Amino acid sequence: MLTAVILSALFLLAIVVLLSRKPRRQAEGIPEHKPDYKAILQKEVLFYRQLMEEEKNDFAQKVASFLEKTRIEGIGTEINDKDRVLVAASAIIPIFRFGNWRYKNITNVILYPDTFNHDFQYSEGERNIMGMVGNGFMNGQMILSKSALHHGFREPGGNENTAIHEFVHLLDAADGSVDGIPELLLNNISSLPWIKAMEKEISRIEKGKSDINPYALTNEAEFFAVVSEYFFEKPAKFKEKHPALYEMLDKMFNPENNSIPHSHIKY
């Protein structure tokens, strides 16, 4: 027992040291060569393939900008250009229609080979976590399962995308609170209709009358992240089965003015 505690402490210390290193080009996980972002996006990301050509250029530029500013590393696994681009695409998809808005609450993304536990271990014991946004000493950090990252971008992968889920949590946090009521996205619109829509769908999930992942019942923040995954992964299906929720999320993620004011963001 004591040995296990010591090993967990050492593992945690290793993560802290890793995350606190000075950003250098190789340490950031940014390759010395410039990857062909468009080719990877075209092959791997359905959201990108469905954009107009001008939008594709914009999306690829935002991916490149994200990767220049965010350190991406692997623990227990090698990472490559595809891994980096999929992480960046996960970040950009929810904010693509927000003009020049950028995440201010993420500096590092760490990829584990597979699921992990609350002690950040991925090779032993019960492991059921696919993604986590850090807080406290891990503020600004994200940990993702590499296998879950890739699964989310496979077209038969269902309604779920773990990486998009975690970046939606960051959007939710941009107003100062991770509560499932994203004031940044509501953009001065009353939150009451959204709260009522959440409550109605939560009741349907509890009664087994909804195809939304029951993990959404965890709390309002998880509900928002789960339905956002569904919205981006299977928009046509989501619109058919959940038209009211679809309309609200469409207004949130596709604002008419195509811009989210920076003045609405708290960090």
Q: What share of the chain is helix, strand, coil (3-state, %, to 5)?
A: 55, 5, 40
pTM: 0.83
| Token pair for 244 | 């009211």
CATH number for the domain formed by residue range(s) 15-264: 3.40.390.10
Q: Provide the residue ranges of all domains of the chain, joining segments of one domain with +.
A: 15-264
For β-strands 131-133 and 141-145, DSSP reports them as: antiparallel
Token pair 């779920």: residue: 160
Distance CA(159)–CA(51), nearest Å, equals 20
Angular region, 120: left φ>0, alpha ψ -120 to 50, beta rest: left
pLDDT of residue 157: 63
From first to last of its 267 residues, the chain has per-residue pLDDT tens of 444 443 444 444 445 444 444 433 333 444 556 789 999 999 999 999 999 999 999 999 999 999 999 999 999 999 999 999 999 999 999 999 998 888 888 889 999 988 887 766 666 656 677 888 866 546 678 999 999 999 999 876 688 999 999 999 999 988 888 899 988 888 766 789 999 999 999 999 999 999 999 999 999 999 999 999 999 999 999 999 999 999 999 999 998 654 554 333 332
- Contact assessment for residue 206 and residue 163, using Cβ atoms and an 8 Å cutoff: no
pLDDT of residue 45: 96
Distance CA(221)–CA(219), nearest Å, equals 6
8-29, pLDDT tens digit by residue?
444 444 454 444 444 333 334 4
